[in-house]
Structure 1
């Protein structure tokens, strides 16, 4: 099957991206968080830190977050329901001052990690974000890019982002039960983990979250007939998870959070 067909399948399921809990292992749930959005605590935490995010919030400076991703970053005709928009809304609820939080999105459809990384210097000159969340790996897996070359490209991209003065969170591939047997994703998942560990940056494990949801029946990621309403619900959960992940990695305590 051609890469374009695989991409369309993955993007179709990609809007259905979200996490779930296991019995006895869920993080304490905020009363406002829907039960379906509860997550195992280990998926919401990171040993790596986001010092620039922490500095911006604690000093009251604007928190500018840039999400670099593919078409699955958005929901067609419902941009306010996409996970970057939901992350922004949740962070505004959590952090003070709320008006200082802004999330923007840079769509780089069908670009490999190498192609995306080549845009980062000019992109950061224009955006000057505090934090960049880089969603990558799907296109490289579909095109069967050599995993070592992929790791090198991600490393170059991370270095460029850090040299430009931004904190970095890596986000790995989407999980799709419809395409799992069509492309080999483990080498790309593993190499993202390696880069994150080598550069001491947080890795948001979207793949593990989505696979758990699918396996436990929280959301039916196989059947595309559920349409945009399901996509909105899972994007909401993903945005909530990402907001909590950022707060945790920045070690923002009660003084920085609105109660």
Structure 2
């Protein structure tokens, strides 16, 4: 078993970074499998130059997803969004080699996660890090300024290690929005992203859009693994488009890797 395949069960069991925060998730019956996302949510003014350089030079694109556990999916297959993103990127960038690894920071605040970043970057050496953060801090009511400082430190460490960075914000759940004050954490992630000129994947806005448009009913009391898989697939595909847009590349011009 490869290291990547060994990591997949741990990911799926421990890393549901999106629609399962609510007790249930349902897909609107009139739009089965829909992944509609407004174009403006998949575009970024900030670029991924190191991703572009690696792809244009024919080097592998090594992506590290750093995340925390929001809930669990009791399945061992590769349906969580990092692997769906990898599959979508490989399909769109047929000439490239796409490698995805996952670093779990289970039940850790941003500050606690950052403590291990220097070692993580030295060992992993990714071209791109996608850092999903904010949910655990919000549920623990961590001081928003302390959260911002921790994210700022983390992005600085990853950039100094030579990686491009994408920040991913909180999940959206209509069931918890009255119990968790998300706004300060969403705002501070945007502040840090702008300070460091890194793309921000607005998962919160995307999921809220799906809920409001009726593509996914995030308030439904009827949970289901199959439905969660569909949301992961949609997030993975959205991320793949986001990465390609931020890299400013033309897939048809990439060198075939040997």
User: Could you say which TM-score interval applies, normalised by the shorter chain?
Assistant: 0.7 to 0.9
Secondary structure of the structure 1 residue equivalent to 2:253: coil
User: TM (normalized to structure 2)?
Assistant: 0.85
Q: Which runs of 5+ in 1 are unaligned?
A: 1-7, 18-33
Post-superposition, which runs of at least 4 consecutive aligned residues in structure 1 deviate over 6 A?
14-17
The equivalent position to 1:113 in structure 2, one of 107, 110, 120, is 110
Q: Is the 8 A contact 2:19 2:231 kept in 1?
A: no
For residue 153 of structure 1, the aligned residue among 150, 153, 159 is: 150
2:107 aligned with 1:93 = no
Say if 1:35 and 1:128 are closer, same or farther in 2 by CA, change over 3 A: same
Residue-pair matches, total: 235
Contact 2:168–2:200 (8 Å) recurs in 1:
yes
Pairing of 1:168-247 with structure 2 (within 5 A):
168-247=165-244
Unaligned runs of 5+ in 2: 1-15, 26-31
User: Cα distance, 1:96 vs. partner?
Assistant: 3.7
Task: Tell me what 1:42 maps to.
Answer: 40
CA distance in 1 between partners of 2:144 and 2:195 (Å): 16
What's 1:102 paired with?
99
Query: Contact 1:73–1:83 (CA<8 Å) still a contact in 2?
Result: no
Are residue 135 (structure 1) and residue 110 (structure 2) matched?
Answer: no
- The 8 Å contact of residues 170 and 196 in structure 1, kept in 2 or not, is answered as yes
What displacement does 1:95 show?
Answer: 1.0
Kept in 2: contact 1:12–1:224 (CA 8 A):
no
1:123 equivalent in structure 2: 120
Contact 2:56–2:254 under 8 Å retained in 1: yes
**TM-score of the superposition, structure 1-length normalised?**
0.84
Q: Secondary structure at the match of 2:65?
A: strand
Q: Which residue of 2 aligns with 1:165?
A: 162
* Distance across 2 between alignment mates of 1:255 and 1:167: 21
